[in-house]
Amino acid sequence: MENARRVLAAALAVTASLFFAACGAATQMGANTPAFVNQTSMRDTDFQTLAAAKWSQAQTETSSQWTDLWAAYRSLQNEPADPNCYTGAISCEGFIPPIPGAASVAPKGIVVQAVPDVPAGPGTPNQSNPTRIISCVGGTGFCNAYVVLDPCNINVPASTPDNMGPYEMQNCILHQLGYDVSRR
């Protein structure tokens, strides 16, 4: 019985230590986390300026326009949405109205990472290098950029690191607001 109490006390002590260490680390990391993390070939000052502008554009679009949560799905299915869906004139599955709160969503630790361009060759849409495209997540084709969430990481072609948004940043905003962007 005494050994069981000692084991329980030790387990509680370790758990409490880990909890407090994690809380401290999260607080420290949160306080020092930049809005955008540059993992591209761009000069950091240019990168930060462009990233802030693209984020601002994504905020404006999300807070003032209808948004298609199924855009990538529609593209893969070759089924474009009716143009009236973007105005709210008709009800369309996968569309959401403007979200005024999107204008106040702040970027925090958004990583923009350059990945190698897909080489030109048979089966690629661009036949000269650099192709300015990358393989999409999951190998579903080619794209100009894509987002991996939790946290928000934007992958861009190494040859065109400025392909970071605003569409990709809009995905980050929508995700932070709790929307399912798995079909974007």
Q: Residue 30: what pLDDT?
A: 64
pLDDT in tens, 140-158: 789 999 999 988 999 999 9
Q: Tell me the residue type at 141.
A: G
Residues 6+ apart with CB under 8 A from 184: 68, 69, 70, 71, 72, 167, 171, 174
Mean pLDDT score of the chain: 85
pLDDT tens digits, residue range 81-124? 999 999 999 999 999 999 999 999 999 999 999 999 999 988 88
Residue 129: per-residue pLDDT = 94
Cα 171-142-98 angle, rounded to 5 deg: 20
Percent share of the chain, pLDDT over 70: 84
CB neighbours of 90 closer than 8 A, spacing ≥ 6?
82, 84
Q: Which of 56-65, 73-82, 96-105 has the lowest mean pLDDT?
A: 73-82
HSE-up of 36 (CA within 13 Å, CB side)? 25
Q: How far apart, in whole angstroms, are the C-alpha atoms of residue 35 and residue 27?
A: 16
pLDDT at residue 20, rounded to an integer: 31
Predicted model pTM: 0.79
**pLDDT computed for residue 76 by the predictor:** 83
- Pair 107, 34: CB distance under 8 Å: no
Q: Please report the pLDDT score of residue 71 as a whole number.
A: 92
